[in-house]
């Protein structure tokens, strides 16, 4: 109940501030997530990431299958093998588990880094376009429309898409 009251108070303050701001400054809004999701370069980046992810997944599955095959083999032979052999095999299985875990962690880090490397320049390009359009149209504030509670100002999403060439 307290959260609802806080949310209502925040909404009233936002609407009041928004009306005051509109009276003092020109505002517009833009939907950055829509632009990014339809941007051809972003679609290419997603394809690259999916391809890289598929490569990592295939290698990971191969490692898991090899691990499971060894486990079955060692379980079947454990009764007839010596204690020294079983100890060595247990160490080998633990090493495989560690390699598989390390590979998974490294692959996730590399995917995240690749995503950052691909998306960051696109975000900067979108941000520059938003600033260019906003200034050209005389707006003092351009808000991301995906997080607005109320958007009475002009939507410049289409203008930004046009400026970016799609």
Question: CA-to-CA distance for 126 and 132, rounded, in angstroms?
Answer: 10
Which pair of tokens denotes residue 49? 């990431």
pLDDT for res 7: 45
Paired tokens of 73: 């083999």
Instruction: Enumerate the domain spans of the chain.
Output: 2-164
Q: Does residue 94 register a pLDDT over 70?
A: yes
Q: Is residue 5 pLDDT above 90, yes or no?
A: no
Calculate mean pLDDT across residues 149-162.
79
Alpha-carbon span 166 to 156, nearest angstrom:
14
What span, in angstroms and rounded, lies between the C-alpha atoms of 141 and 122? 21
Asked if residue 56 has pLDDT above 90, the reply is yes
The DSSP bridge partners found for residue 22 are none
**Which of residues 56 and 161 earns the better pLDDT score?**
56
Q: Nearest-CA neighbor of 99 among 55, 73, 63? A: 63
Task: Tell me the sheet residues that pair with 28.
Answer: 142
Task: Check whether 54 has a pLDDT greater than 50.
Answer: yes
Least confident window among 25-29, 35-39, 89-93, 105-109: 25-29
Quote the pLDDT of residue 92. Answer: 95
What confidence category does residue 40 fall into, taking pLDDT thresholds of 50, 70 and 90? very high
Question: What is the separation of C-alpha 82 from the centre of its chain, rounded to a whole number of angstroms?
Answer: 50
Residue 155 bridge partners (DSSP): 29
Give the pLDDT mean for 72-92. Answer: 91
């Amino acid at each position: 109940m307290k959260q609802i009251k806080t949310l209502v108070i925040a909404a009233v303050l936002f609407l009041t501030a928004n009306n005051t701001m509109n009276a003092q400054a020109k505002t517009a809004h833009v939907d950055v997530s829509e632009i990014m999701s339809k941007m051809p370069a972003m679609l290419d980046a997603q394809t690259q990431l999916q391809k890289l992810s598929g490569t990592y997944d295939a290698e990971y599955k191969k490692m898991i299958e090899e691990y499971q095959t060894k486990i079955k083999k060692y379980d079947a032979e454990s009764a007839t093998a010596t204690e020294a052999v079983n100890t060595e095999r247990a160490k080998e299985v633990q090493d495989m588990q560690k390699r598989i875990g390390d590979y998974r962690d490294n692959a996730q880090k590399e995917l995240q880094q690749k995503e950052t490397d691909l998306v960051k320049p696109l975000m900067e390009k979108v941000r520059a376009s938003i600033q260019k359009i906003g200034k050209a149209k005389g707006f003092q504030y351009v808000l991301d429309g995906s997080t607005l509670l109320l958007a009475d100002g002009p939507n410049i999403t289409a203008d930004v898409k046009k400026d970016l060439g799609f």
